[in-house]
A and B are shown apart, each in its own frame.
Chain A
Amino acid sequence: MSTAADAGQSGFDRDKAGAGAPVLAVTDLGVSVRGEDGERPVVENLSFTLRRGETLCIAGESGSGKSMTALAIMGLLPRPAALLSSGSIRLNEVELSQLPESRMRQIRGDRIAMIFQEPMTSLNPVLSIGRQLIEAIETHTSMSRSQARARALAALQGVRISDAERRLRQFPHEMSGGMRQRVMIAMALALQPDVLIADEPTTALDVTVQGEVLELLRDLQRDQGTAIILITHDMGVVAEMADRVIVMRRGSMVEEGPVTRIFDAPQAPYTQELLASVPRLGGGAGRQATRAPEAVEPASAVAEIRDLHVRFDLHGGFFGRVDRRVHAVEGISFSIPPNQTLALVGESGCGKSTTARAIAGLLPYSGEIVIGGRNLAALDRSERKAVRRDVQMIFQDPHASLDPRMRVGDIVAEPLVVHAMGSRKDQAEHVAWLFERVGLPPDAVARYPHEFSGGQRQRISIARALALRPRLIIADEAVSALDVSVRARVLELLRELQRDFAVSYLFISHDMAVVENISDRVAVMYLGQIVETGTRDQVFANPRHPYTRRLIEAVPVPDPARRRPHFARLDREIPSPVRRADDPPPRLLLRDVGDGHLVAA
């Protein structure tokens, strides 16, 4: 224990100190999935040893078999589709791979615990937090209800949840994502397991919350000596957390080693490629060069947004009158010059997607939206439809945003059909040209969305958005769901298209590193208002608003040498944008701190 604690303070050189006795030994692990075309291996020949107090990161992109490895260790492979085809898993001298389910059940949740990616759906919505915590404790101990309750309370306090007594009685939907993930951690660690498997534990969380959760895991590990297997696609998280790293690709281990060696001297070409495609603040491959801010007259701007408000009424009371409002967007103004990228950043619920949807004409709004010099509100239906051609959108989820029953060629051609552009033949030619332009094979037009990977689907979405030669493309978290290497290529494509077609982007993202990589100008949103805006360099090199600073500081740095002992801590939960109808939020005033760098006072 003391070695682990000491090592924790001295940072990432724990691996050299040889943390402790081995707790988990995986030898020659193989997992197969049964499909229509027979068994297909998804994990092959995987071997590693996990020591007490150690953090092992399994890094890799989707389909690398990292989650299957975790489920295999837990004995939770989705049967009958997946099965353990070979190898041994030993936990403290107990062979798990041969264990009958009844024995495995005693180990699961007690000696090995697991937390998952999706905190929003990983807790049962109809049972109280207390019930779910106590249940886990009672299953594995002979404690009385009140003892179990006391243990649950202690576990909640252990994950720094304030007012734990009251939280026990709450239900999952009453908590934020970060809170729920902490509850999951409390549940997993309440019985002090030997091994904790964390499968993408912070991927679904906002970046400031991610920092807190990572720090919490680190602290709990130091106190309890738990060995952690952390599964992640995010090399920043790896650099912050790992003692040792396994890089996986297509079911096999590509490289293994201490974290410093993996980052400083990666051996395998794949590891090198993976690290190169990670977007980094202030650098990284393919970063947008700083472009001189052209002096843009408002009239020449592609889009000019003035004092935009989007509010949603909530009805209550006996007559269903409006008694509360969601102030999703509160008086924001910005303009997007031609051939430039404005990034709108902020955490979930800040109103960035609502802004996008209002500009795309998908939501009622108040204020002014001027596209190409024409004010949307002043136009009639047909004129508005014509203006719509100039604004197109790309969405986050490449799996959900394409109609599964349409051929992708038809999907891309649909905007042309809707706006009656050209003959059938012209349309087909245009679609073929678009496919070539976004880097898809010409024969792809006749296929269906499910036949493509996530990155390819996002290219299809881009082709659809480009079909009408718009002046503005709104990319709403368009690369967030993609693997890093794919993401880098899609970002490159977006930049290339901007060069060739002089299209402007409104790039909406929560990922500061990506934003820093692609944008010319940045606007930071918080609770429906812009708190800071300026050129990319102004905002990132000289962030003036505390919220902007916190966002930038919270980004995990993909460099273990710059690992920090503490993350920026959120002093409180972000307040709700729901307010009483007669109580609008105070208006933030933006002050120019030089050269058009605006900061909320």
Chain B
Amino acid sequence: MIVYLGRRLIQAALILFGVSIITFALLYLLPADPVRQIAGRSATAETVENIRRQLGLDQPFLVQYWRYVLKLMSGDLGRSYIQRSEVTELIMSRLPASLLLMVGAIICEVSIGLTMGLIAAMRRGTVTDRALMVSSFVGVSAPQFVVGLLLLYVFAVRLGWLPIGGYGTWQHLVLPSLTLGILGAGWYSRMMRSSMIDVLTQDYIRTAHAKGLAGRVVLLRHALPNAILPVIAMIGIDIGLFMSGIVVVESVFGWPGIGQLAWQAIQRVDVPIIMGVTLVSACAIVLGNLIADIVAPFIDPRIRLK
């Protein structure tokens, strides 16, 4: 297990290195000039050059990247160009809100998706099945900002059950989590349905029935753990999807997380923040996959590590 974790950590470091160099290169090649953004439209050419030199942006690409990596090694993500504070602090102050949103979204998608998939598989071929699959299709294909606005309109504006936006209580969490989770729920319900249908035709399910077990026991004890395995691997990948989703969802709901931070930074070409958020996202994705890989053996003894 320790060997395995060690290997995974080395892999993670390599992935982060790759992500950092690609993002850095992309930002470098971007036609938008961060210095112009900082200096403002009326600045003289001299001021612009001064700022450029101060930030070290006049150096060649490799030198800039090398400096960045050196600082990164000591946990320093640099200073924001615009906000004049440490990127690390900015991200740390907003990370909890995003993590909370992510947990909420995972709970939403897993509970909604798995339940829908399970019911659809059990009622296969019926109207219930078809209705569930159509709605999952809608969930998968609807853009998140549309879903978000729709939920806002119905539950916050018309019904007034939940707050329109902001952060603080559990009521604030419900709509953003739902918005973020509905996409995944759509995927999960489809995966769960096909996985469950497959498992229900397996020989060991017939064995379980032949023992005289009640249908409910067969379903929950024998079928579910087998059917859920492919879905677990998906949750790890999903964290990556969330990272792109939170940029939209946090903007719609005014949620003070790193998505919003990134959104503001992108508009103003605030390179250090964009880099920081990207790296944190990459970390989250790697971590998510690692957790999925660690959890899976607890359900499936066949992949238990020696």
Contacts and interface: CB of A to CB of B under 8 A. Distances in A.
A17 interface: no
A317 B207 CA distance: 38
A125 interface: yes
A123 B207 CA distance: 7
A171 B203 CA distance: 16
A135 interface: yes
A547 B226 CA distance: 39
A110 B226 CA distance: 26
Interface stretch (B208-216, B256-264, B265-273): B208-216
B123 to A, nearest CB: 13
Contacts of B300: 125-126
B36 interface: no
B113 to A, nearest CB: 21
B237 to A, nearest CB: 22
A311 B275 CA distance: 47
A123 B210 contact: no
Interface residues of A, number: 31
Interface stretch (A42-50, A100-108, A391-399): A100-108
A121 interface: yes
Contacts of A139: 211-213, 217
B302 A121 contact: no
Contact of A121 (B6, B203, B209, B225): B203
Contacts, number: 76
Interface in B196-233: 202-204, 206-214, 217, 221-222, 225-226
A173 B214 contact: no
A9 interface: no
Nearest to B222: A124
A122 B203 CA distance: 5
A128 B222 CA distance: 11
Contact of B204 (A76, A106, A123): A123
B207 A108 contact: no
Nearest to B4: A318
B84 interface: no
Nearest to A137: B211
B168 interface: no
Nearest to B209: A76
A106 B214 CA distance: 9
Interface string B264-298: 00000000000000000000000000000000000
Contact of A116 (B3, B206, B217, B299): B206
Nearest to A174: B301
B207 A116 contact: yes
A116 B203 contact: yes
Interface string A107-122: 1111001101010011
B234 to A, nearest CB: 18
A136 B211 contact: yes
B41 interface: no
A242 interface: no
A474 interface: no
Interface string A451-471: 000000000000000000000
Interface in A76-107: 76, 105-107
A135 B211 CA distance: 9
Contacts of B221: 127, 135
Interface in A296-325: 317-318, 320
A108 B203 contact: no
Contacts of A531: none
Contact of A105 (B202, B212, B225): B212
A135 B213 CA distance: 8
A140 B6 CA distance: 48
Interface of A: 74, 76, 105-110, 113-114, 116, 118, 121-128, 135-136, 139-140, 171, 173, 184, 187, 317-318, 320
User: A-B pairs with the 8 shortest C-beta distances?
Assistant: A109-B212, A109-B211, A108-B212, A121-B203, A124-B204, A171-B301, A136-B211, A122-B203
